[in-house]
């Protein structure tokens, strides 16, 4: 018999619709994840061997000044109270003031995050466009020289330090050949020409109709984006190959071939359709990794993104900026996981 929900008085209560249950479960999971992330970042801020008070008042400040700043920051209160204050501020989007820039951390993040998003988006686009076909061909031609070459290419992308590839890329393509722009997002001559709308210069220059700025911005972003794309390609290609090999050994593939279907139809209509759901998670995780893991690339190419922002803040003992950036990165991972789950339900009817 179907279960019937009842209240405390034993009266029947209409069960919640299945879609509402899923929404509530997802919302609860996201809330619990973010609460755990905030708690961890709060503890990191308290156990780090850096004194935020000294970072504000300086090492030569008197004890009276130090104690006053200690009290103003709320560090004299119990940890539970401090965490509640911290939680309240973060919910309101207040990460405090950055000691390095003297601006609110939330404003700094809004300023630097579009640069990272622009770089990571182009990087994952390169990784998907090249990595997925490479993985499919490698699986179909398993054991051939194409497969061996593809595996070597992906192995290099996995093994080679990205900072070394970045330095070599700058030396060859910028210093020697002059094919690409140097470090930074634009040459000095092109700065502040187009109005800031999205913070992504490629998009803003197109919106403004300024092709010269677009070309200059593209010449600067193509090398770091290609390096990130190569790293993403290595991961996506290997996973695509693994998924394809698993499906190619299935009985339905043999049946489709016996029925006379062409090899192209078998590969792209049947096999690839069955692995696209798995690829969604792989691509989402790769994108999230580029959004938060491109620190070395941003530093090498002087790219003013959130990775270099957090690193500079950490070296300057600017814990408000470090914790604020960490929370934003964690939120990105949660949002991308939710987005990939929604795509799961769209592409796979069984998940509905």
CA dihedral 69, 71, 74, 78 (to 10 degrees): 140
Task: Confirm if 145 and 247 have CB atoms less than 8 A apart.
Answer: no
The average pLDDT across 7-15 equals 56
Task: Confirm if 142 and 244 have CB atoms less than 8 A apart.
Answer: no
pLDDT the model gives residue 126: 92
pLDDT range class, residue 125, cuts 50, 70, 90: very high
Residue 49 makes CB contacts below 8 A (sequence gap 6+) with none
Residue 329 has pLDDT above 80, yes or no: yes
pLDDT the model gives residue 19: 62
As given in the structure block, the two tokens for residue 180 are: 């690409």
As given in the structure block, the two tokens for residue 11 are: 């009266």
Q: Count CA within 13 A, CB hemisphere, residue 245.
A: 13
Return the higher-pLDDT residue of 19 and 119: 119
Helical H segments across 141-271, by residue range:
145-159, 162-169, 201-208, 211-248, 251-258, 263-265
Please state, in angstroms and rounded to a whole number, the distance separating the CA atoms of residues 101 and 321. 10
Chain centre distance of CA 29: 20
Q: For the chain, where are the E strands, in sequence order?
A: 5-6, 12-13
Chain centre distance of CA 104: 23
The average pLDDT across 117-139 equals 90
Please state, in angstroms and rounded to a whole number, the distance separating the CA atoms of residues 259 and 209. 53
Q: How high does pLDDT run on average in the chain?
A: 80
Domain ranges of the chain: 23-91, 109-351
Residue 10 has pLDDT above 70, yes or no: no
Say if residue 264 is exposed, middle or buried (CB neighbours under 10 Å; 0-12, 13-18, 19+).
exposed
Lowest-confidence segment of 2-6, 146-150, 298-302 by average pLDDT? 2-6
Its pTM surpasses 0.95:
no
Nearest-5° angle of CA 276, CA 251, CA 249?
65
pLDDT range class, residue 1, cuts 50, 70, 90: very low
Please state, in angstroms and rounded to a whole number, the distance separating the CA atoms of residues 43 and 39. 6
The terminus-to-terminus CA distance of the chain in angstroms comes to: 23
3-state secondary structure of 76: coil
Q: Count CA within 13 A, CB hemisphere, residue 113.
A: 17
Q: What would the pLDDT profile of 295-325 be if each residue is shown by its tens digit? A: 778 888 888 888 888 888 877 777 788 888 8
Q: What would the pLDDT profile of 149-172 be if each residue is shown by its tens digit? A: 888 888 887 777 878 888 888 888
Return the higher-pLDDT residue of 145 and 338: 145
Residue 6 has pLDDT above 60, yes or no: no
| Fold exhibited by the domain 109-351 | MetI-like fold (1.10.3720)
Q: What would the pLDDT profile of 52-91 be if each residue is shown by its tens digit? A: 676 666 667 677 777 777 776 667 677 787 788 788 878 8
pLDDT the model gives residue 280: 84
Task: Confirm if 238 and 154 have CB atoms less than 8 A apart.
Answer: yes
């Amino acid at each position: 018999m179907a279960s019937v929900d009842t209240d405390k008085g034993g009266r029947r209560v209409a069960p919640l619709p299945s879609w509402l249950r899923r929404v509530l479960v997802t919302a609860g999971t996201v809330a619990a994840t973010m609460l755990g992330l905030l708690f961890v970042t709060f503890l990191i801020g308290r156990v780090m061997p850096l004194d935020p008070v000294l970072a504000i008042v300086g090492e030569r400040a008197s004890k009276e000044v130090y104690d006053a700043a200690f009290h103003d920051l709320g560090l004299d209160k119990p940890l539970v109270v401090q965490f509640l204050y911290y939680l309240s501020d973060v919910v309101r989007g207040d990460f405090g003031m950055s000691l390095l820039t003297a601006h609110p951390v939330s404003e700094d993040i809004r300023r630097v995050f579009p640069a990272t998003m622009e770089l990571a988006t182009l990087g994952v686009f390169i990784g998907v466009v090249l990595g997925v076909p490479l993985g499919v061909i490698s699986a179909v031609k398993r054991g051939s020289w194409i497969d061996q070459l593809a595996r070597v290419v992906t192995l290099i992308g996995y093994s080679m330090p990205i900072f070394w590839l970045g330095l070599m890329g700058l030396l060859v393509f910028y210093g020697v050949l002059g094919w690409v722009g140097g470090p930074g997002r634009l040459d000095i001559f092109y700065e502040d020409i187009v109005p800031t709308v999205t913070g992504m210069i490629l998009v803003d220059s197109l919106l403004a109709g300024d092709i010269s700025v677009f070309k200059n911005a593209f010449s600067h972003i193509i090398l770091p984006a290609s390096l990130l794309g190569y790293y993403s390609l290595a991961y996506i290609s290997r996973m695509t190959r693994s998924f394809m090999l698993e499906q190619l050994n299935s009985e339905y593939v043999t049946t489709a071939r016996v029925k006379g279907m062409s090899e192209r139809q078998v590969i792209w209509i049947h096999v690839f359709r069955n692995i696209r759901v798995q690829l969604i998670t792989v691509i989402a995780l790769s994108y999230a990794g580029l959004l938060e893991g491109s620190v070395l690339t941003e530093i090498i190419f002087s790219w003013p993104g959130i990775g270099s922002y957090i690193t500079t803040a950490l070296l300057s003992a600017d814990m408000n900026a470090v914790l604020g950036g960490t929370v934003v990165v964690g939120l990105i991972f949660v949002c991308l996981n939710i987005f990939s789950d929604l795509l799961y339900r769209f592409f796979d009817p069984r998940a509905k």
